[in-house]
Structure 1
Amino acid sequence: MAELLVEIHVPLTPSDVPEGEYPFPWIDSAMEFLFELDDSRGEMYDDGEELGDEYLFFVHAGSESDLLSIAREIARLPGMPLGVYATVTDTEADMGGGRRVDLD
């Protein structure tokens, strides 16, 4: 049975880090935030994944408003690129689809 899923789309933009450093430290920050998510609002659905020129994080097991709240918190993490948005979809849909929600 399909379940509500929110995809968090982050432009795959390198951070301003010294040459030779991992250019996407914000991926680790967002994953850590999701791993530590310990409340009834929702939880991480799966590991993040690249899709074109974006990196996607997935949350589920909550209401749409709670999952979008989590997405907004991720968008506001230090070092996150500009232009983060979410899509509201379900666990059986193709990745990258759904209704777009701006997180500004």
Structure 2
Amino acid sequence: MALLVEIHVPLTPTPGLKPWEYPFPWIEQVEDFLIELEEEGTAESYDEGTEFRACFVFFLVGATEAGLLAASSRVATLKGVPAGSFALVTDTEAPEMGTGRRVDLPL
């Protein structure tokens, strides 16, 4: 069992895009940022991001709770990431996604 933080970002389309453009370009931006976190040794992605309810969820492990929440806060402040993100502090053995202690982002 390991500490896990779920980063929930509202699935809000990016304003100003053309109708044929992908409405959530910030998802790829966050995924690139998470790779940078891994390269820094700050935190690790636990699994691929996924849609859950009205959010896109990213998963972080490999650091203390404070470290994972700090990294989550950095995600929430990336340019283009919709407001309203939050983290759920849980663990890798949780019976289901979307459970845990909620922390509003950014910190």
Query: TM-score w.r.t. structure 1 length?
Result: 0.95
- SS across alignment from 1:8: strand
Q: What is the 5 A alignment of 1:18-37?
A: 18-37=18-37
* Deviations, residues 58-89 of structure 1 (Å, cap 9, x unaligned): 00010000000110000000101110010000
- SS across alignment from 2:70: helix
Partner of 2:48 in structure 1?
Answer: 47
- SS across alignment from 2:66: helix
Q: What is the 5 A alignment of 1:4-83?
A: 4-16=3-15, 17-37=17-37, 38-83=39-84
- SS across alignment from 1:7: strand
Q: 1:95 aligns with which of 87, 97, 106?
A: 97
Q: Which structure 1 segments of 5+ residues have no match?
A: none
- SS across alignment from 1:57: strand
Partner of 1:85 in structure 2?
Answer: 86
- SS across alignment from 1:36: helix
Identity over aligned pairs, percent: 50
Query: TM-score w.r.t. structure 2 length?
Result: 0.92
Give, in whole Å, the separation in 1 of the partners of 2:33 and 2:41.
15
Shift of 1:39: 2.4
Q: Which structure 2 segments of 5+ residues have no match?
A: none
Aligned residues: 103
